Amino acid sequence: MAKNNEEEKDKAALIILPIVLGGAAAWYFLSRKVSADPNKAILFGNVTDVDTGHGIQGVSVACDGYTAKTDSHGDYNIINIEPGEYYVSFQHPNYQPVQV
């Protein structure tokens, strides 16, 4: 049975959202040739489909004016954010938007 468009748009995504601050975050990204300020925060994670467990490509991730898109594996990162507490939103045309 094929799912219709409405069912696809209502499907929820599982958000894995680790937030790492300071030196450990800088080590993580500098070891991957991404420039990061050790006094700033780095937000990174993976967005997966709750039913299949597969990463979702093209999810828009937004945090306090910073944005990123997930890659083909569902991975994203936003570097050099001021440390603090933020709402993070996730949007994709085929999934229900999520804000955490």
pLDDT in tens, 60-91: 999 999 999 999 999 999 998 988 899 999 99
Task: Give the domain 13-99 fold.
Answer: Immunoglobulin-like (2.60.40)
pLDDT over 70 for what percent of the chain? 64
- Which neighbouring-strand residues pair with 68? 61
For residue 43, with 0-12 CB atoms within 10 Å meaning exposed, 13-18 middle and 19 or more buried, which class applies? Answer: buried
Q: Strand, helix or coil at 26?
A: helix
- On the question of pLDDT at 8 being above 80, the answer is no
Report pLDDT for 92. Answer: 97
pTM above 0.85, yes or no: no
Nearest CA-CA partner of 98 in 61, 70, 66, 65? 61
Kind and range of the H or E run holding 84: none
